[in-house]
């Protein structure tokens, strides 16, 4: 185990303690053959903290997988709050629905199956009430478009969080032709340039290696 993993384990043990529900979600994901690309326990706890910090009643997630991050977001909701989460793969969505049920949050989460861009466009078209926290964690090449749509679905004070913006440092490679890297770079550039946003990015190390979150708040 690397020192990063040791520290992650120490921090998670100290700050989070045991959580049988979340461990079961990861077991179910593994049994269903889902890729192990969920946020880490401490990163999930960050999502809960951010949802609480903005007293989120409406949360939008792009990229559900088995719902591990979704459970953390749902747990951070203010009373009466809801999470809308977008997932392309019906198999992933089915695993997520079961996990959300078992975690006791299925009644506050809408899993929308299909390309996230279609779901976001539908939310814009139907004049959906603003979201207070948006978590972008699907295909990274989609993030510039997801950001553009998200900006029509927020209000001042809303947070927009993007996962996986560092990817072992590859984000700094201006010559990369990896669509995940070019997507992350265009996403970060858009965050930095947009006068409606105050934005930052935080590099992370730990159980999930070296990566990072972009975090922006709507002015």
Nearer to ligand SAH among residue 65 and residue 74 (C-beta):
65
Nearer to ligand SAH among residue 49 and residue 196 (C-beta):
49
Shortest spacing between CB 166 and Mg ion, in angstroms: 11
Q: Which does 89 bind (CB under 5 to 8 A by kind): Mg ion, ligand SAH, ligand DHB, none?
A: ligand SAH
Binding string, residues 156-175; x marks residues near Mg ion by CB under 5 A:
-------xx-----------
Q: Which does 215 bind (CB under 5 to 8 A by kind): ligand DHB, ligand SAH, Mg ion, none?
A: none
Binding string, residues 63-92; x marks residues near ligand SAH by CB under 6 A:
xxx--xx----------------xxxx--x
The token pair at 213 is 């979150």
Give burial (CB, 10 Å; 0-12/13-18/19+) of 160: buried
Give the residue at shortest CB distance from Mg ion. 163
Positions in 156-195 near ligand SAH (CB under 6 A) = none
Beta strands, E only, 8-107: 58-62, 82-87
* Counts for the chain of helices (H) and strands (E), in that order: 8, 7
How many Cβ atoms from other residues are within 10 Å of residue 110's Cβ? 11
Binding string, residues 116-155; x marks residues near ligand SAH by CB under 6 A:
x--------------------xxx--x-------------
Cα separation of 151 and 158, whole Å? 10
Positions in 113-142 near Mg ion (CB under 5 A) = 137
Element (H, E) at 37: none
The token pair at 25 is 């979600």
Nearer to ligand DHB among residue 36 and residue 101 (C-beta):
36
> Binding residues for ligand DHB, per CB under 6 A?
37, 137, 163-164
User: Which parts of 109-208 fold into alpha helices (H)?
Assistant: 116-125, 143-150, 179-193
HSE, side-chain direction, 13 A CA sphere, residue 90: 0
Would you tell me which residues interact with Mg ion (CB under 5 A)? 137, 163-164
């Amino acid at each position: 185990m690397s020192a990063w993993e040791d520290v992650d384990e120490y921090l998670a043990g100290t700050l989070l303690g045991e959580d049988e529900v979340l461990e079961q979600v990861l077991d179910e994901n593994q049994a269903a053959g889902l890729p192990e690309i969920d946020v880490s326990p401490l990163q999930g706890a960050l999502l809960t903290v951010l949802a609480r910090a903005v007293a989120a009643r409406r949360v939008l997630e792009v990229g559900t997988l088995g719902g591990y991050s979704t459970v953390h977001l749902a747990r951070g909701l203010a009373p009466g709050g809801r999470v809308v989460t977008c997932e392309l793969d019906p198999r992933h969505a089915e695993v997520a629905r079961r996990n959300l049920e078992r975690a006791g949050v299925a009644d506050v989460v809408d899993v929308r199956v299909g390309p996230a861009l279609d779901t976001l466009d539908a939310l814009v078209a139907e004049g959906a009430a603003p979201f207070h926290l948006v978590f972008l964690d699907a295909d990274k090449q989609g993030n510039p478009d997801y950001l553009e749509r998200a900006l029509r679905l927020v209000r001042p004070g809303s947070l927009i969080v993007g996962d996986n913006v560092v990817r072992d440092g590859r984000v700094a490679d201006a010559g990369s032709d990896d669509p995940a890297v070019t997507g992350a770079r265009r996403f970060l550039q858009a965050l930095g340039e947009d006068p409606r946003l105050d934005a930052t990015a935080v590099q992370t190390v730990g159980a999930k290696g070296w990566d990072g979150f972009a975090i922006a708040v709507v002015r």
